[in-house]
Amino acid sequence: MPARGASAAGRREGQSVSSAGAVVGMQLLPETWQWVATVVLGESTPRTYAGNVRAGVAYLSHLLHDFDGNTRLALAAWYQGEGAVRQRGIFKVTSRFVADVLALEQRM
């Protein structure tokens, strides 16, 4: 699924940055990347495409664990933020992102 998420988010080589400031690949915001490296992985993660994917996979694994294996909620938390999903449920725009990722999974 990480590759599907990266594909849905606009996978490209290099250090491209989205309009929201997320590093393209796994679409991690710099703050999230740093948090994952420090808290989840416990080590520095290189600012490369491979490092981005490694941090992204670790973050998705963390979200799946936190949401008891519920893929839909984990993907929603990825896109919208964990706190927002827990406090307000899944936003309409987030539902479209989740549906797109799950549709990619079906095609692969």
Q: Domains of the chain (ranges plus CATH)?
A: 2-101 (1.10.530.10)
pTM of the model: 0.76
Higher pLDDT, 22 or 76: 76
Per the structure block, which two tokens stand in for 43?
Answer: 């080590």
Per the structure block, which two tokens stand in for 36?
Answer: 């994952």
Q: Decide if 80 contacts 94 (C-beta within 8 A).
A: yes
- Label residue 25 left, alpha or beta by phi (over 0 means left) and psi (-120 to 50 means alpha): left
Q: Decide if 56 contacts 26 (C-beta within 8 A).
A: yes
Per the structure block, which two tokens stand in for 107?
Answer: 């095609």
pLDDT tens for 12-54 read 444 566 666 566 678 888 899 999 999 999 998 888 888 989 9
Task: Please give the backbone phi and psi of residue 52, each rounded to the nearest 5 degrees, phi first.
Answer: -65, -45
